[in-house]
Structure 1
Amino acid sequence: MSDNLNDLQLFNDRLDERSLQAYWSRVGYRGEGEPTLEALKELHYLHPQAIPFENINPFLGIPLAMKLPDLLQKLVLEGRGGYCFEQNLLFGHVLHSMGFLVKGLSARVFWEVPDGEIKPRDHMLLLVQVDGRKYIADVGFGGASFTAPLSLDQEEEQETPLERYRLQKKGDFHYLEIWVKEQWRLLYRFGMESQLLPDYEVVSWYLCTHPQSLFVQELMAARCMPWGRYALHNNRFTIHRKNEESQKRTLTNPKELKELLEELFLIQLPLHENMMEKLKQLVSED
């Protein structure tokens, strides 16, 4: 991984100082602007707490745009969240603007996928180089997003503020696993081939428009906390606390669902004529 990777044009654009400061303020970062491992760890910890995972735009049929100005507007200025392409593209631009070497990768997801079902490579993650060492960064994997970068050079398990993970190399691919309920479970598999913005845009368009896409059919939101996670799937709300039994609740009121999205997930919901009707359908279908 060398400087000429940035010639691939995924992260050629840099945030100006005002935009970078706005992002730091959004996530609560008060550290230095230098490309250090400490900065990467702090930003990776803060980002998924401040900018939630959510798929409200596809759920409402609102088009997604993934150019840097669009990402800044939605995730930073409008107080919204997003899914993997939005989250990791923004995070990658921030890191690149700080001087990190960053590369976009693509993964095939196995987490919560029924046995025998084959998913396309529809997840984005980042490869980041710091002091000659390579790390995986991913702030957009929803309810299983990790809260620290993972060393690509280490096959032993790695502790993060919330869970343990491990990366294993098999042939041309790396396999990322998470320790859950006393067992290792596969999250996703990825290779080292660089991805460009059109690669992500094609997959994102499919996920946002295909009638059978979960991002179109269902509502999802997730937010990391220092002690655990909030997770929402349609009208089923779960609180995951580290080393404790998860607390689950089914919401039966669209107003309650709206307030949950705004108050616990910190999402400034878009002004859309179908918002309350869509939320009402979720609670009535249970």
Structure 2
Amino acid sequence: MSLDGSALDLDTYFARIGYRGSRAPTLETLRALHFSHATTIPFENLDVLAGKTPLLDLAPVVRKLVDERRGGYCFELNMLFSGVLKALGFRVTDLIGRVRWKSPADIVSARSHRVVHVDLPEGPFIADIAFGGLTMTGPLKFEVDIEQPTPHETYRILRRGQDFELQAKLGEDWVSIYSFSLEPQAPVDYEVSNWFTATHPNSIFVQHLIVARPAVDRRHALLNTGLTIRHKDGRVETRQLASVDEIAVALRDYFGISLSEDQKAASLAPHFARWKTMVV
């Protein structure tokens, strides 16, 4: 794994996410970059479905997410965002968490979600542009037991023994997203988790198509053949996609991902019949 900053051209990255603001390492810049990145580069696992383990060197991540205008999952997305922040002069620590979303309280999940910790004069913050359908659109101050609004949901951080837990408020309910510690992670820690996530037969990313991107006033999500649009005013639109070609059109129109015929054949076609029969 290489974190060579020379692989990252900031002008090209800023053009990719449509960012024209300040490059000073300030809270205002962090908030603006977080929103622009989250609402532009989608969460997706198409490479995993094609039988590929995503590469975690910075150069191939930049090539895929920036040059090829694709998306990725947390190890790729938060790696890129961390690299950008470091290049701008932010003080960054890379962390890892255990996913709690839709998981029974007594189940201990593996450490499989990359998280970014940022130190600012205003205090420490948590940044995360890579949690699928609940990707945060703004950073959170690392302070427990306070409700923190973002451009989309309201979040809070709770203390859980030696660890911490991120929760989101959905309607009137608080739901757990993931737990994490403040132990800095070495690159090899992500390599191990990435390999497990991309190859284990029970991994949700091996079994399901998962694509998501928040927009200014809504969230777009694609789970297998089900397309969902959740508006900030509470309206929900759903549609079942009837073919591989319909999925490809949805990927292009709602997530900005254009697939070649070879990519459709590798990532979508082998799984489509099974997805049509699955209840998730």
TM-score with structure 2 setting the length? 0.93
Report the 3-state secondary structure (helix = DSSP H, G, I; strand = E; otherwise coil) of the residue aligned with 1:198: helix
- Residues 169, 284 of structure 1: CA spacing in aligned structure 2 closer, same or farther, 3 A cutoff? closer
Q: Matches of 1:190 and 1:212 in 2, distance apart?
A: 22
Equivalent positions of 1:106-117 (< 5 A) are: 106-117=96-107
Q: 1:62 to 1:170 in 2, by over 3 A?
A: closer
Instruction: Specify the code of the residue in structure 1 equivalent to 2:119.
Output: Q
Percent identity at matched positions?
37
For residue 90 of structure 2, what is the aligned residue in structure 1? 100
Q: Secondary structure at the match of 1:232?
A: strand
Q: CA deviation at 1:154?
A: 5.1
Comparing 246-255 with 183-192, greater Cα deviation is found at: 246-255
**Structure 1 counterpart of 2:4, one-letter code:** D
Provide the C-alpha distance between the structure 2 equivalents of 1:71 and 1:36, rounded to a whole number of angstroms.
25
The equivalences for 1:22-101 within 5 A come to 22-101=12-91
Could you tell me which amino acid in structure 1 is paired with residue 145 of structure 2? E
Letter matched to residue 186 of structure 2: L
Which runs of structure 2 are paired with 1:177-192 in the superposition (5 Å)?
Answer: 177-192=167-182
Matched, 1:221 2:234: no
Contact 2:92–2:116 (Cα < 8 Å) also in 1: yes
Query: Which residue of 229, 254, 264 maps to 2:254?
Result: 264
Paired residues of 2:118 and 2:126 also in contact (CA < 8 A) = yes
TM-superposed deviation, 1:203: 0.6
Residues 59 and 206 from structure 1, CA distance in 2 versus in 1: closer, same or farther, beyond 3 angstroms?
same
Report the 3-state secondary structure (helix = DSSP H, G, I; strand = E; otherwise coil) of the residue aligned with 1:74: helix
List aligned pairs for 1:129-278, cutoff 5 A: 129-131=119-121, 133-153=123-143, 155-269=145-259, 271-272=262-263, 273-278=265-270
Q: Structure 2 regions of 5+ residues with no counterpart? A: none
Structure 2 Cα separation of the partners of residues 24 and 136 of structure 1: 21
3-state SS in 2 of match to 1:278: coil
**CA distance 1:11–1:181, shift in 2 (3 Å):** farther
Letter matched to residue 247 of structure 1: E
Structure 1 residues 121-152: Cα deviation after superposition (integer angstroms, max 9, x where no partner): 11110100112510000000000111000000
2:2 matched to 1:14? no
Q: What is the distance in 1 between the residues matched to 2:146 and 2:3?
A: 34
Once residues 87 and 68 of structure 1 are traced to their aligned partners in structure 2, the CA distance between those partners, rounded to angstroms, is 11
Q: Deviation per CA, 1:66-96: give whole Å up to 9, x if none.
A: 1110111000000100000100000000000
- 1:276/1:192 Cα in 2 relative to 1: closer, same or farther (>3 Å)? closer
Q: CA deviation at 1:153?
A: 2.7
Superposition RMSD on alpha carbons, in Å?
A: 1.9
Query: 3-state DSSP class of the match of 2:39?
Result: helix
How many residues align structurally?
276
Contact 2:132 2:212 in 1 (8 A): yes
Aligned equivalents of 1:276, 1:148: Cα separation in 2: 32
**Aligned-partner Cα distance in 2 for 1:112–1:276:** 25
Post-superposition Cα deviations, 1:171-214, rounded to whole Å, max 9, x if no partner, equal: 32111110012111111111100001110010110111111211
For 1:91 and 1:151, the matched residues in 2 are separated by 17
Counterpart CA distance in 1 for 2:38 and 2:2 is: 21
The whole-number CA distance in structure 1 between the counterparts of 2:88 and 2:174 is 34
Query: Does structure 1 retain, via aligned residues, the 8 Å contact 2:248–2:258?
Result: no
Amino acid at match of 1:131: P
Aligned equivalents of 2:79, 2:251: Cα separation in 1: 23
In the alignment, is the contact (CA less than 8 A) between 2:129 and 2:136 conserved in 1?
A: yes
Taking the aligned partners of 2:126 and 2:2, their CA distance within structure 1 comes to 16
Q: Secondary structure at the match of 1:174?
A: strand
Distance 1:249 1:106, change over 3 A: same
In 2, the alpha carbon distance for the partners of 1:276 and 1:215 equals 13
Q: 1:209 corresponds to which letter in structure 2?
A: T
Q: Secondary structure at the match of 1:122?
A: strand
Cα offset, 1:249, TM superposition: 1.6
The 8 Å contact of residues 108 and 190 in structure 1, kept in 2 or not, is answered as yes
SS across alignment from 2:124: strand
